[in-house]
Amino acid sequence: MSTVLVVDDKEMLRDSVGATLQRAGFEVLTAPDANAALETIARRRPDAVVTDLRMPGMTGIELVERARDIDDTLPFVVMTAYGAVDTAVQAIKAGAFDYITKPFEGDELIVAIKRAIDHARLTRENAVLRTNAEGPRTVASGGGPTGLTRLIGDSPAMRRVRQQVLAVAESHGTVLICGESGTGKEVVARAVHEISPRAGQPFLAVNCAALSESLLESELFGHERGAFTGAEKLRKGRFELADRGTLLLDEISEITPKVQAKLLRVLQERSFERVGSSMTIGLDVRVIATSNRDLPRSVARGEFRQDLFFRLNVLPVHLPPLRDRLEDVPALVSHFLGLTAQREGKPARRISDDAMAVLRSYTWPGNVREVQNVCERAAVLCKGEVIERSMIEPWLLAADAMTTTGLEIKIASGMAVPSLPTHNGEGGLIACDGRQLEDIERDAIIRTLARFNGHRQRTAQSLGIGVRTLGLKLKKWKQQQLVEQTL
């Protein structure tokens, strides 16, 4: 049900217009003057406003201009007396969508309101599309399945995930999706949105690990013109653009304490202020957060606010690693081979039984994302119709060697990188030389940096940590002179 705010200093007219709109199926809010209207707009965010032009104090034209600072897509239909068309034209220039002259028929008003709401909806949809296209954000899953059909596999573990998704989707509560990197946390978030009551509303995502504190704050909450150097115009943040829809906060564990505090208030109060503004804006957004880290452990270490964790962990969903559901590998392989064939415009490749046996016996440290990469590579490089074991087995052996080899390597500066400890067969590591855990962690990070030629983004992604976390660790180790200053 769309909400319309009726603004007029005459109670009889407010009641008459309100009754007409209610009969047409609208929810109606009323305000006796422009100041009260601005408060209602900031708090309730109606879909459209009907206002008189001539009111004591602030006029209808001034109301239109002031409201644009809150929401520049909010459509206004102004009511003006017969013969005052010039004043109505001024209102249009100030940002109103349409005007009607008194006296008017109820049908005329309803048609104008519906046109205004449709136009505003298209404007907001275009803004969301531009935001998704411009980034920075997590990579979207384009095309293909939707809803629960996004969740590939029929193992007991995946059936439990589907049950969790169905349970949380009907709620409007905050969802926290945890799992290792590459398990498909964003895919699950999109599935939740697509089968929820908000399915027809915007879905936006932001990668919290990819932005600095100041950029993330502006990205989430928007900013006013002149709020900081380079802020040349008002910009809406992701919370505002996702109003009535869903906002995905990917890698929530990487946000700084300052942003954590501001996010906590948004979740508690369902309101926020743009950067550089003191005006409080109400919102209706469902938040879905993801993390590949153990958040309770981060809370215990003082790295993440406990109260924010409780606010996020209302509806938890845990994604199992692929090694715990290897029976889903054939379905995933078939799915990704089909997607690649569709994208490339070629017939789908088949995979031999021997090759599938190799895939099912591999532990997949990169989880579903690694399956996708292997399938795309095989589909593109395979010359025949069937992907054979001889093609994919060397790739898996090489990938496995990267995570288990104990060979010493050299980085560009000539510093020797100590060998990594070996796996104990149960997913853990054996520190054979009795070193401290931080020493082992530092060795792993330096070694991975060398493998990616110092590329921090790829290193962090490979290790399953945020870029900011990686940078802080390197900074500390440089200060302690434990690593080269050039890293």
In the chain, what are the helix, strand and coil shares in percent, each to the nearest 5? 50, 15, 35
CA 101 – CA 326 distance, rounded (Å): 69
DSSP alpha helix (H) spans, 171-320: 185-194, 213-221, 238-241, 257-269, 295-300, 306-312
* Distance, CA of 445 to CA of 442 (rounded, Å): 5
- Give one word for 226, left, alpha or beta, with left for phi > 0 and alpha for psi -120 to 50: left
Q: Does the fold of domain 407-479 match that of domain 323-403?
A: no
Q: In sequence order, what are the beta bridge partners of 250? A: 207
First to last CA, the chain: 56
In 36-163, the DSSP E strands lie at 48-52, 76-81, 98-102
Phi, psi (rounded to 5 degrees) for 407: -75, 140
Phi, psi of 104 (to 5 degrees): -135, 155
Angstrom distance (rounded) from CA 390 to CA 213: 47
Q: What is the CATH number of domain 407-479?
A: 1.10.10.60
Identify any residues that bridge with 100 across adjacent strands, giving them in sequence order: 79
* CATH number assigned to the domain with residue range 323-403, chosen from the 4 options 1.10.287.990, 3.90.1150.10, 1.10.620.20, 1.10.8.60: 1.10.8.60
> What's this model's pTM, rounded to 2 decimal places?
0.67
The answer as to CATH 3.40.50.2300 being correct for domain 3-121 is: yes
Q: Are 185 and 249 in contact (CB under 8 A)?
A: no
Of 159, 156, 152, 151, residue with least CA distance to 331: 152
Residue ranges of domains in the chain = 3-121, 147-320, 323-403, 407-479
Distance from chain centroid for Cα 98: 35
CATH number belonging to domain 147-320: 3.40.50.300
**Mean pLDDT per 10-residue interval, the chain, length 487 residues:** 89 90 92 91 88 87 87 87 72 86 86 90 75 46 62 92 92 93 92 90 89 87 81 82 91 92 91 85 91 90 92 94 93 92 87 92 91 92 89 80 44 38 40 59 83 80 80 84 74
Strands (E), 131-259: 175-178, 203-207, 246-250
Question: How confident is the model at residue 405, as a pLDDT?
Answer: 42
In angstroms, the CA 90 to CA 106 distance is 24
